[in-house]
Amino acid sequence: MLTSVDRLLFIREVPIFKELRDEFLVRLASCMDELSFPKKHAIFTEGQEGRSLYIVVSGTVRVHTGDRDLAKLGKGSFFGEMSLFDAEPRSASVSTLDKSECLVLTQQQLYDAIDETPDIAVNIIRLLSRRIRKLNQRLNEVRDTDIQQTLAPK
């Protein structure tokens, strides 16, 4: 368990909360739950309804669809944010690779935070855009490899 001071110091370094005022971060940090998960534990599964964003405090989690890995996330990374905004089921599963601790921010807590400090929304949009760009780049690389393999003489 993080102390109040440790929690504040930790979330201050999380990209979506950077540049936000400390008095706001103190309130936000105090309302977040801290959850501990054992190794190889499913935090949530694809298709589940979700209303929480998770931030990795320690450990590593695996984002996946079935057996296909999409990402591995460590300390300071967040996941689960998409369902907060579009009310759709989870698009992927997240499981722990080792014992992990996470802070949890609910949809209502996030909306309250955005009302008070709109910069959080801008930070989330910026980070989601980066993730989409990385995925597009990976898709293009896979497509280019497939085209080269198709055109290669046999």
Q: How many domains does the chain have?
A: 1
Task: Kindly state whether residue 50 falls inside one of the protein's structural domains.
Answer: yes
Q: Look up the pTM and report it.
A: 0.80
pLDDT (0 to 100) of residue 31: 87
- CA-CA distance, 33 to 58, in Å (whole number)? 14
Which domain covers residue 81, as residue numbers?
Answer: 4-148
Tokens of 25: 């971060």
Q: What is the CATH number of the domain that holds 75?
A: 2.60.120.10
Q: What is the mean pLDDT of each run of 10 residues along the chain (154 residues)?
A: 87 83 84 95 95 94 93 93 84 96 91 83 84 85 78 72
Task: Kindly state whether residue 30 falls inside one of the protein's structural domains.
Answer: yes
- CA-CA distance, 111 to 127, in Å (whole number)? 17
Residue keyed to tokens 């591995």: 72
Task: Kindly state whether residue 154 falls inside one of the protein's structural domains.
Answer: no
Task: Kindly state whether residue 131 falls inside one of the protein's structural domains.
Answer: yes
